[in-house]
Amino acid sequence: MAARAHGSCLRHWAREDYIEGMSGHISVRDPENSNAFWTNPLGVHFGLLKASDMILVDFNGKVIGGNRKRPANAAGFLIHAAVHKMRPDVHAVCHCHSISGKAWSVFGKCLEMITQDVSKFYAEAQSVYDSYGGALFASEEGDLIAKALGNGKGCILRNHGLLTVGKP
């Protein structure tokens, strides 16, 4: 069920153009194993993903279920594992490189409360991670992103994109 909903969400992102190429990832905590999450594989466009493509990984990066034909996105794993570990209350972690999100991220500042749509990200619910140094290959940076997110709903990753979380 989690993998099916996960694939549906990724295809929705493709229709809404929350993507650029194959960048970004969504993870969903496994309902039976809270120390594991479902994630999308590396190199498959969001619009083509199906439930059978999803990968179940534990917090150590070991594939424990789902698709074993393609690897998980390494950078995505590091971000999502850190957030899921730090925030047991979070069910899903979503990270995208949308054109608008990346454009806003260059300012390195939170969204201003000037429209109704932004009100769900009131000041305490959002943050900025200001130390992006390129593609993520170290768990320490994933931990720093999770720390920047804190107890909020969303984090703007400067010069990179957006990260949001959801609860059941």
Query: Residue 77 belongs to a domain with what CATH number?
Result: 3.40.225.10
Task: Please give the residue range of the domain that contains residue 105.
Answer: 2-166
Single-letter residue type at 142? G
Count of domains forming the chain: 1
Give the Cα separation of 36 and 44 in Å (integer).
21
Give the Cα separation of 66 and 50 in Å (integer).
11
Residue 58, token pair as written in the block: 């534990």
Residue 161, token pair as written in the block: 């994109």
Residue 133, token pair as written in the block: 């140094």
pLDDT at 15 over 70: yes
**Contact at 8 Å (CB) between 105 and 158?**
yes
**Contact at 8 Å (CB) between 146 and 85?**
yes
pTM value is 0.89
Residue 150: pLDDT band with limits 50, 70, 90: very high
Give the residue-averaged pLDDT of 76-90: 95
Q: Which stretch of 71-80, 92-101, 127-136, 158-167 has the lowest confidence by average pLDDT?
A: 127-136
